[in-house]
Amino acid sequence: MLKLLALYFFTTLIHVPITEAKIREYNWEVKYEYKSPDCFRKQVITINGLSPGPTILAQQGDTVIVNVKNKLITESFAIHWHGIRQRGTPWSDGTAWVTQCPIGPGDTVTYEFKADRPGTYVYHAHYGMQRTAGLYGSIQVSLPDGVEEPFAYDFDQSILLNDWYHQSTSAQATGLTSIPYMWVGEPQSLLIQGKGKFNCSSVTLPTNICNTTNPECSPYVITVIPGKTYRLRIASLTALSALSFQIEGHKMTVVEADGYNVEPFEVDKLYIYSGETYSVIVKADRDPSRNYWATTNVISRHPNTPPGLAIFNYEPNEPQQSPPTVPPAGPVWNDTADQFAQSQALKARQGYIHTPPPTSDRTLVFLTTQNTINGYTRWAVNNVSLDTPETPFLIALKYNLPNAMDQTPPPDTYDSLNYDINNVAKNKNATSSTAIYRLKFNTTVDVIMQNANTMKISHSETHPWHLHGHDFWVLGNGIGKFDLKEDTKKFNLVNPVMKNTVPVFPFGWTALRFQADNPGVWAFHCHLEPHFYLGMGVAFEAGVEKVGKLPSFIMGCGQGRGL
CATH topology for 20-143 is: Immunoglobulin-like (2.60.40)
SS3 of residue 489 by DSSP: helix
CA-based nearest residue to 507, from 535, 478, 483:
478
pLDDT of residue 390: 96
CA-based nearest residue to 95, from 111, 107, 117, 108:
111
Taking the C-alpha atoms of residue 326 and residue 312, their distance in angstroms, rounded to an integer, is 14
CA-based nearest residue to 250, from 323, 333, 161, 348:
323
Return the CATH class of domain 362-560. mainly beta
CA-based nearest residue to 83, from 124, 129, 121:
121
Q: What residues does each domain of the chain span?
A: 20-143, 149-352, 362-560
Strand partners, 467: 524
Q: Do domains 20-143 and 362-560 have the same CATH topology?
A: yes
Taking the C-alpha atoms of residue 418 and residue 395, their distance in angstroms, rounded to an integer, is 39
Taking the C-alpha atoms of residue 497 and residue 477, their distance in angstroms, rounded to an integer, is 12
CA-based nearest residue to 34, from 220, 210, 240:
210
Residue 253 to residues 224, 243, 261, Cα–Cα distance (Å): 17, 17, 12
Residues 6+ apart with CB under 8 A from 307: 190, 295, 296, 297, 327, 330
The region, left, alpha or beta by phi > 0 then psi within -120 to 50, assigned to residue 382 is: left
Chunked mean pLDDT (size 10), the chain, 563 residues: 38 47 96 98 98 98 98 97 98 98 97 97 97 98 96 97 97 97 98 97 88 95 98 98 98 98 98 98 98 98 96 97 96 96 97 97 98 98 97 97 96 96 96 98 98 97 98 97 95 98 98 98 98 98 97 95 86
Taking the C-alpha atoms of residue 194 and residue 49, their distance in angstroms, rounded to an integer, is 13
Any idea what DSSP says for residue 344? H
- Longest Cα–Cα distance in the chain: 73
Spell out the alpha helix ranges (H) of 259-361.
336-345
Burial of residue 96, with CB atoms counted within 10 A of its CB: 0-12 exposed, 13-18 middle, 19 or more buried: buried
Burial of residue 427, with CB atoms counted within 10 A of its CB: 0-12 exposed, 13-18 middle, 19 or more buried: exposed
Provide the 10 A C-beta neighbour count for residue 354.
Answer: 12
Q: Are 44 and 166 in contact (CB under 8 A)?
A: no
Count the residues in the chain.
563
Query: Within 13 Å of residue 518, how many CA atoms lie on the same side as its CB?
Result: 22
Q: In what order do the strands lie in the sheet with 384-386?
A: 431-433, 384-386, 376-381, 362-373, 444-451, 508-515, 472-479, 498-499
Taking the C-alpha atoms of residue 170 and residue 155, their distance in angstroms, rounded to an integer, is 40
Taking the C-alpha atoms of residue 52 and residue 71, their distance in angstroms, rounded to an integer, is 17
Taking the C-alpha atoms of residue 101 and residue 131, their distance in angstroms, rounded to an integer, is 17
Burial of residue 85, with CB atoms counted within 10 A of its CB: 0-12 exposed, 13-18 middle, 19 or more buried: buried
Taking the C-alpha atoms of residue 146 and residue 18, their distance in angstroms, rounded to an integer, is 9
Any idea what DSSP says for residue 488? G
pLDDT of residue 13: 36
pLDDT of residue 18: 53
Taking the C-alpha atoms of residue 232 and residue 280, their distance in angstroms, rounded to an integer, is 5
Strand partners, 235: 160, 277
First to last CA, the chain: 39
CATH topology for 149-352 is: Immunoglobulin-like (2.60.40)
Taking the C-alpha atoms of residue 365 and residue 388, their distance in angstroms, rounded to an integer, is 22
Tell me how far the alpha carbon of residue 52 is from its chain's centroid: 15
CA-based nearest residue to 377, from 241, 177, 132, 94:
177
Any idea what DSSP says for residue 247? E
Any idea what DSSP says for residue 409? P
Q: Are 412 and 457 in contact (CB under 8 A)?
A: no
pLDDT of residue 205: 84
SS3 of residue 275 by DSSP: coil
* Backbone φ, ψ for residue 266 (5° rounding): -95, 140
